[in-house]
């Protein structure tokens, strides 16, 4: 069951290495991806629910952002979002990411969006008005069965590819986050080939590729949710990841791949 908390925040733009700032209207995320590194927020916020079963809604987001924009001046790059998909299903009701995106772009900021949700199509009217925004979609695997396990409540990969295509038709700049490359699951040649084939015709600004962001909670989430036949692969993943030296060697091989 989903627990929604409507909370007031003090600050919305937070300094980050992902651009100059990150902006999150929501903490928590219902797509519930198994590999989600943001699940550390559950402990940080002391939420008793499982990751994916709670969302904190920053109900005063626009008001706080407006005040911050009086002090912070562009050009600055803002990444939306880092601890919850800004266009997860609840955004259809609250429209906070849309409103904040508009405020940022109208104030002259550069915005990089990363989402797995085709709900972003609702906001194409905003995206088409500005050259300083780039829409990114995460593509993890073309394997439908595996995608259902890894990202159970996100838009399908086909919906994401269609969204990118539609964005390009409207001359919106686009990029792809290819990852995370999970050892034994999504780092295979066949998976990578399938993805590159699928995105070949797209005129992307950039492709960003990354490994699995290793956290104990992520390994645990994968272990608990994978089927028995995938358990052997999980053990290989665990073997590669748990020892820092072995993970460094694996990472080097992955880079070559």
What gap in Å lies between CA 84 and CA 37, rounded to an integer?
A: 10
- Minimal CA–CA distance to 144: which of 154, 153, 156? 156
Residues 95-154 that bind ligand SF4 (CB under 6 A): 116, 154
Residue with tokens 């600050």: 11
Per-residue contact flags (x/-) with ligand SF4 for residues 214 to 253, judged by CB under 6 A: ----------------------------------------
DSSP structural state of residue 51: T
Of 85 and 91, which CB lies nearer to ligand SF4 in the complex structure? 85
Which region, judged by CB under 6 A, interacts with ligand SF4, from 8-16, 29-37, 167-175, 214-222?
A: 29-37
Stretch in the footprint of ligand SF4 (CB under 6 A) among 11-19, 32-40, 55-63, 141-149 = 32-40
Pick from 19, 24, 26, 31: which binds ligand SF4 (CB under 6 A)? 31
Say how many residues touch ligand SF4, by CB under 6 A. Answer: 10
Contacting range for ligand SF4; rule: CB under 6 A; set: 30-38, 165-173, 182-190, 196-204: 30-38
Q: Give 60's DSSP letter.
A: T
For residue 80, which of 46, 120, 107 has the smallest C-alpha distance?
Answer: 120
Examine residue 179 and tell whether it contacts ligand SF4 (CB under 6 A). Answer: no
Instruction: Quote the tokens at residue 165.
Output: 């295509």
Query: Which 3 state secondary structure label does DSSP give 49?
Result: coil
90 binds ligand SF4 (CB under 6 A): no
> Which token pair is 22?
């990150």
Tell me which residue of 4, 102, 107 sits closest to 49, measured CA to CA. 4
Interface residue list for ligand SF4 (CB under 6 A):
29, 31-33, 36, 38, 84-85, 116, 154
């Amino acid at each position: 069951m989903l627990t929604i908390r409507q909370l007031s925040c003090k600050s919305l733009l937070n300094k980050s290495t992902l651009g100059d700032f990150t902006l999150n209207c929501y903490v928590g995320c219902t797509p519930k991806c198994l590999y989600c590194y943001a699940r550390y927020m559950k402990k940080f916020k002391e939420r008793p629910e499982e990751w994916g079963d709670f969302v904190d809604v920053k109900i005063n987001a626009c008001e706080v952002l407006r005040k911050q924009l009086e002090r912070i001046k562009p050009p600055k790059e803002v990444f939306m979002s880092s601890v919850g998909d800004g266009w997860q299903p609840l955004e259809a009701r609250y429209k906070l990411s849309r409103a904040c995106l508009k405020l940022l772009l109208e104030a002259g900021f550069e915005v990089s969006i990363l989402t797995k949700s085709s709900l972003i199509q609702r906001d194409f009217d905003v995206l088409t008005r500005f050259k300083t925004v780039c829409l990114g979609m995460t593509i993890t695997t073309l394997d439908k069965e595996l995608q259902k396990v890894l990202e159970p409540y996100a838009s399908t990969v086909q919906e994401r590819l269609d969204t990118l295509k539609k964005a390009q038709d409207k001359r919106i700049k686009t990029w792809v986050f290819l990852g995370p490359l999970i050892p034994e699951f999504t780092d295979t040649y066949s998976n990578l080939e399938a993805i590159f084939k699928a995105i070949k015709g797209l005129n992307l600004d950039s492709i960003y590729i990354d490994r699995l962001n290793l956290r104990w909670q992520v390994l645990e989430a994968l272990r608990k949710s994978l089927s028995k036949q995938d358990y052997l692969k999980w053990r290989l993943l665990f073997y590669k990841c748990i020892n820092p030296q072995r993970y460094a060697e694996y990472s080097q091989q992955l880079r070559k791949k």
